[in-house]
Amino acid sequence: MTTLTYATRDSATLLRRNLRHLVRYPSLTLMIIGMPVVFLLLFVYVFGGTLGAGLPGGSTSSDPRADYLLYLTPAILVMTVVSVANSTAILVAKDATEGIIDRFRTLPIARSAPLTGHVLAAMAQTVFGVLIVLGIALALGYRSDASVAGWVGAAGILVLMGWAVTWLCVALGLASGSVEAASNAPMPLILLPFLSSAFVPTDSMPSGLAWVAEHQPFTPIIETLRAFLDGRDPGSDLWWAIGWCALITVLCFWWATRLFGRVRAS
């Protein structure tokens, strides 16, 4: 077998290990999916009436809350992906602070395999989480005008983004040095969507903030997803979204595999 097939096989072996963890630690998955669900309910039922009225054309709408659900759902799906990635930082840090990382590091396997195993498990969890959250949104009355191609595009951008933020969280998990620090390290990642077009359109923000919001990665990602789900063409947002995801993935893959060689169990 070649080096590449070995690396793939080792990643699959370690994916199985991480999936077993998820099955045996169901409260973690529940917590991960709980966060976006709480945001969904909070923003639709508490803030939704008012926020919906503030959307373009919302002041004359007969049901601003329903309009806001339509606007919000893509953002909540992105939050679900971020939430899964966040938990990966914790799982990676747990490995890194225990002796098991030394065992992996003294094996003749690809450096990236234990990390890829985590990322693949996170992707499986992302698919599961997104389907559940989407199901809840549908139950609340969310409807999409997306064609099959639109749904494929939406799934694609979620996976691409999941891949990028999970590699970022793997690196953060390795860099943080403890499980506690790892649970806090991705906090900016949870807050960043608030400074984007996730919850309100950027043109409602003060100009300085709007500039930041329009130029940070979450806005093109969320706008692309929103366009796909609304049955529109995402235009240049799609390319910005793909570019950001690719850049973050490459940088964080490099950072994480470098850290993996250095981190020592304490």
Partner 1 sequence: MTDHTTAIEVTGIVKSYGDTPVLRGIDLSVPAGTVYALLGPNGAGKTTMIRILATLLSADDGTARISGYDVGTEPDAVRRSIGMTGQFSAIDELLTGRENLRLMADLAHLRKAEAAARVEELLARFGLADAGDRRAATYSGGMKRRLDLAMTLVSRPRVIFLDEPTTGLDPRSRRDLWQIVRELLREGVTILLTTQYLDEADQLAHTVGLLDAGRLVAEGTPAELKAQAGGETLDDVFLALTGHAATADDQDDDTEALR
> Least Å distance between CB 103 and partner 1?
4
> Least Å distance between CB 4 and partner 1?
14
The number of beta carbons lying within 10 Å of the beta carbon of residue 91 is: 22
What is the distance between the alpha carbons of residues 78 and 71, in angstroms, rounded to a whole number? 13
Among 4, 24, 62, 191, binds partner 1 (CB under 8 A): 24
Among 6, 47, 128, 255, binds partner 1 (CB under 8 A): 6
The reply on whether position 258 binds partner 1 by CB under 8 A is no
Inter-residue contact 126 to 80 (CB < 8 Å): yes
Inter-residue contact 182 to 172 (CB < 8 Å): yes
Q: Which parts of 74-103 interact with partner 1 (CB under 8 A)?
A: 98-100, 102-103
Inter-residue contact 117 to 18 (CB < 8 Å): yes
Stretch that binds partner 1, among 16-24, 50-58, 67-75, 197-205 (CB under 8 A): 16-24
- Residue 204 CA: distances (Å) to CA of 56, 108, 196: 10, 55, 11
The reply on whether position 50 binds partner 1 by CB under 8 A is no
Q: In 3D, which of 185, 177, 212, 182 has the Cα closest to residue 196?
A: 212
Total residues at the site for partner 1 (CB under 8 A)? 23
List interacting residues with partner 1 (CB under 8 A): 1, 6, 9-10, 13-14, 17, 20-21, 24-25, 98-100, 102-103, 105-109, 264-265
